[in-house]
Amino acid sequence: MRKIIKFKNKPKILSSASVVGKKENRGPLSKYFDIHDETDKFGQKTFEQAESEMQRLALNLALSKIKTPQKNIEAVFAGDLMNQCTGSSYGLASFGIPYFGLYGACSTAAEGLILSGMTVNSGIYEKVACLSSSHNSSAERQFRFPLEYGNQRPPTAQWTATAAAAFIIGKEDTEEFKSYACLAEALAGKIIDKGISDANNMGAAMAPAAADTILRFFSQNKHSPEDFDLIVTGDLGYEGHSICKEILADEGLKLGDNFNDCGKLIFDKETQDTHSGGSGCGCSASVTAGYIMEGFKNGIFRDVLLVGTGALMSPMSIQQGLSIAGIGHLIRISAVDKNEE
């Protein structure tokens, strides 16, 4: 049995920062994001370089929020969607922090948090950083069409969020700043392929993987879904989230209003023309770093499950007609002063 990872030493989320584009800043979560840019270019020449710059800004801000110099960070776990993770490697090169490049598609934020939690919990590292990003324009260029190409998106298509987020995970609080949330448990996802090959319906491709992880989590412990203030999937969107909910219901796990999706939260479906909702590495990352962490700070959230979802494909696999496999990494974030198993 693949067991739930329990972080006994409760690695703390010392700091988090989010950087978003214009559309995200016009969305319902606008007030939770730290930095935005009206041009989506962040002063750079290309959208790809802009994505790197967003990671740089996010890490800088996350560090400065707790007045921690970059030399105190022992490792960084980061990833994005751009060719061979160039967003992360170019964006983080100047920091000189030992770097682990991750590719978990849009589940990268959750994957990074799990790895951060494991290394800090075990005492290998004192303080690490975890980042991920996506940029609508770089993703459109890589996965879909040129930006000025005129086409209609079907209702099940999702909108890659222009967003980056950074988290600093550490063993102890710094002297000046107290953290609000910590990593409590985690469950890594399995690669699940249910044969969906429609790149315009990623939600449906990822829903079974998210459902599998959620089912495995609740079958292994005494928790019930009502124990959590929020159970949030990464970027299933309206379509995938509703499929996931139906799969779980079929398996006898009824989830209520506390079950939501970062892709649904980040945009306003009615006014922003984003169809099935947001997607991309930056989607779940920025919603967690902004909205969810703010919730912990205000005491609205005490216990949250984040299931970072990813579609494991490439433009090549789509062109060759292969189906899209999904993955769902679960991480449980709890309030620091919450004391129970």
Partner 1 sequence: MDIFLGCLKAFIVGGIFCVISQVLIDKTKFTPARILVGYVVMGVILTAIGIYEPIVKFAGAGATVPLTGFGYTLAKGVEKAVDEIGILGVLSGGITATATGITAAIVFGFIAALVFPSHPKK
Partner 2 sequence: MNKSNDEYKKYVERHAVPSPIVSNCVKAFLVGGTICCMGQVLFLLYKNVLEMSEINARALVSATLIFGAILLTGFDVFDDIAKFGGAGTLVPITGFANAVVAPALDTKAEGWILGVGAKLFTISGPVILYGTLASAVYGTVYYIVMLIMR
Instruction: Kindly compute the dihedral angle of the four CA atoms of residues 214, 217, 219, 220, in this order, to the nearest 10 degrees.
Output: 170
Return the residue of 96, 98, 155, 315 that touches partner 2, per CB under 8 A: 155
- 151 binds partner 2 per the rule CB under 8 A: yes
Residue whose token pair is 């909205």 = 291
| Region binding partner 2 by CB under 8 A among candidate stretches 99-107, 126-134, 175-183, 239-247 | 239-247
Binders of partner 2: how many residues, by CB under 8 A? 36
Residue 63 Cβ vs partner 2, minimum distance, rounded to whole Å: 30
Measured from the CB atom, is 39 or 84 closer to partner 1? 39
Amino acid in position 177: F
Residue 172 Cβ vs partner 1, minimum distance, rounded to whole Å: 42
Measured from the CB atom, is 164 or 243 closer to partner 2? 243
Paired strand residues for 186: 5, 331
Q: State the Cα–Cα distance between residues 124 and 113, nearest whole angstrom.
A: 15
Tokens, residue 259: 């079950």
Question: DSSP secondary structure string, 202-218?
Answer: HHHHHHHHHHHHHHHHH
| Region binding partner 1 by CB under 8 A among candidate stretches 18-26, 93-101, 227-235, 239-247 | 18-26
CB 94 within 8 A of CB 56: yes
Question: Kindly report the CA angle at 323 between 322 and 327, in degrees rounded to 5?
Answer: 130
CB 212 within 8 A of CB 189: yes
Q: Residue 218's binding partner, choosing from partner 2, partner 1, none, with beta-carbon cut-off 5 to 8 A by kind? A: none
- 148 binds partner 1 per the rule CB under 8 A: yes
- 22 binds partner 1 per the rule CB under 8 A: yes
Contacts for 83 with CB less than 8 Å, ≥ 6 apart:
142
Q: Residue 190's binding partner, choosing from partner 1, partner 2, none, with beta-carbon cut-off 5 to 8 A by kind? A: none
Q: Residue 22's binding partner, choosing from partner 2, partner 1, none, with beta-carbon cut-off 5 to 8 A by kind? A: partner 1
Q: State the Cα–Cα distance between residues 308 and 231, nearest whole angstrom.
A: 11
- 86 binds partner 2 per the rule CB under 8 A: no
Residues numbered 293 to 332 that lie near partner 2 (CB under 8 A) are: 323
Question: DSSP secondary structure string, 79-136?
Answer: EESSGGGHHHHHHHGGG---EEEE-BTBTHHHHHHHHHHHHHHTTS-SEEEEEEEE-H
Pairing state of beta strands 127-134 and 163-170?
A: antiparallel
60 burial type by CB count under 10 A (0-12 exposed, 13-18 middle, 19+ buried): middle
- 47 binds partner 1 per the rule CB under 8 A: yes
- 45 binds partner 2 per the rule CB under 8 A: yes
Q: State the Cα–Cα distance between residues 208 and 245, nearest whole angstrom.
A: 10
Binders of partner 1: how many residues, by CB under 8 A? 19
CB 329 within 8 A of CB 307: yes
- 193 binds partner 1 per the rule CB under 8 A: no
Residues numbered 109 to 128 that lie near partner 2 (CB under 8 A) are: none
- 251 binds partner 2 per the rule CB under 8 A: yes
Measured from the CB atom, is 29 or 330 closer to partner 2? 330
> Which residues of the chain form contacts with partner 1 (CB under 8 A)?
21-23, 39-40, 47, 136-137, 140, 146-148, 151-152, 154, 162, 198, 200, 273
> Which residues of the chain form contacts with partner 2 (CB under 8 A)?
45-46, 48, 141, 145-156, 193-196, 201, 204, 208, 211-212, 215, 238-239, 242-243, 246-247, 250-251, 276, 323
